[in-house]
Structure 1
Amino acid sequence: MQFFYMLAVAIVSRYLAAALGPKPKAPEPQKANIPVADEGRPVAWVFGDVWFDDSQVVAWRQAGQIPIKGKGKK
């Protein structure tokens, strides 16, 4: 009899914790905060492993989440 009482208390406490707990926020898309290439400025060609401080980005793709549409297929 004690087993069923403890099981009922565990189930009720789980539902209460889920209902009263904090809700997670949805992730936001990334903000593009990148160095861009200036017009007329030469683009560095790098071959091998080097370290340089003059960075610029020639191409950028907005990274984020892509929603899954449709059901899984095999």
Structure 2
Amino acid sequence: MWYLVVIVVAALVSVALAPRPPQPKPASLSDIDAPTAEEGRPIPVVFGSVLIRGSNVVWFGDLEAEPIKRRGGGKK
């Protein structure tokens, strides 16, 4: 019976002394791998399906949020 007490105490001590993982840093706009638009940068010619990192584009969508407006409450 005493071995159960030793096992429970050892488990509690190991949980209490375990190192805590570091907190992740919050995401920022620089973490997004968005395409760039630079003058003089070469534009690659791709044949087939290829993953291009850091592509050069002339326009990349609206980075704005638009509020959702409800009409009719979703009834038909």
After TM superposition, the score normalised by the length of structure 1 is 0.43
Higher relative contact order (CA closer than 8 Å, sequence separation 6+): 1
After TM superposition, the score normalised by the length of structure 2 is 0.42
